[in-house]
Amino acid sequence: MALPNKRPDDMARITTPELAQAFIEEQVAAVREQVGEKNVLLALSGGVDSSVVAALLIKAIGKQLICVHVNHGLMRKGESEQVVDVFRNQMDANLVYVDATDRFLDLLAGVAEPERKRKIIGAEFIRVFEEEARKVAGEVDFLAQGTIYPDILESKDGVKAHHNVGGLPEDLQFDLVEPVKLLYKDEVRVVGRELGLPENMVERQPFPGPGLGVRCLGAITRDRLEALREADAIVREEMEAAGVGAWQYFAVVPDMRATGVRDGVRAYEWPAIIRAINTVDVMTATVPELDWELLKRMTDRVTHEVPGICRVCYDLTPKPVGTVEWE
CATH class of 215-314: alpha beta
Is the pLDDT score of 160 beyond 80?
Answer: no
CA nearest neighbour of 323 among 269, 285, 281, 267: 285
- pLDDT score of 282: 86
- pLDDT score of 236: 97
What are the residue boundaries of the structural domains of the chain, listed by start? Answer: 17-202, 215-314
- pLDDT score of 295: 98
Is the pLDDT score of 164 beyond 70?
Answer: no
Cβ atoms 252, 215 nearer than 8 A:
yes
| Fold equal for 17-202 and 215-314 | no
- As a whole-number percent, the residues of the chain with pLDDT over 90 amount to 88
- pLDDT score of 281: 84
CA atoms of 260 and 160, how far apart (whole Å): 45
- 211 sits in the region (left: phi over 0; alpha: psi -120 to 50; else beta) called left
User: Using alpha carbons only, what angle is made at residue 322 by residues 228 and 125, rounded to the nearest 5 degrees?
Assistant: 50
- pLDDT score of 151: 83
Is the pLDDT score of 208 beyond 70?
Answer: yes
CA atoms of 181 and 5, how far apart (whole Å): 8
Is the pLDDT score of 213 beyond 80?
Answer: yes
121-145 per-position pLDDT tens digit: 999 999 999 999 999 989 999 999 9
104-116 per-position pLDDT tens digit: 999 999 999 999 9
- pLDDT score of 20: 98
Q: Residue by residue, what is the 3-state secondary structure of the chain?
A: CCCCCCCCCCCCCCCCHHHHHHHHHHHHHHHHHHHCCCEEEEECCCCHHHHHHHHHHHHHHHHHEEEEEEECCCCCCCHHHHHHHHHHHHCCCEEEEEECHHHHHHHHCCCCCHHHHHHHHHHHHHHHHHHHHHHHHHHEEEEECCCCHHHHHCCCCCCCCCCCCCCCCHHHCCEEECCCCCCCHHHHHHHHHHCCCCHHHHCCCCCCCCHHHHCECCCCCHHHHHHHHHHHHHHHHHHHHCCCCCCEEEEEECCCCEEEEECCEEEEEEEEEEEEEECCCCCCEECCCCCHHHHHHHHHHHHHHCCCEEEEEECCCCECCCCCCCC
In the predicted model, what is the mean pLDDT of the chain? 93
Is the pLDDT score of 161 beyond 70?
Answer: no
Cβ atoms 46, 69 nearer than 8 A:
yes
- pLDDT score of 224: 98
51-67 per-position pLDDT tens digit: 999 999 999 999 999 99
241-285 per-position pLDDT tens digit: 999 999 999 999 999 999 999 999 999 999 999 999 999 888 999
2-55 per-position pLDDT tens digit: 667 889 999 999 999 999 999 999 999 999 999 999 999 999 999 999 999 999
The mean pLDDT of 231-237, rounded to a whole number, is 98
- pLDDT score of 300: 98
pLDDT band for position 102 (cuts 50, 70, 90): very high
Q: Which fold has domain 17-202?
A: Rossmann fold (3.40.50)
Higher pLDDT, 153 or 250: 250
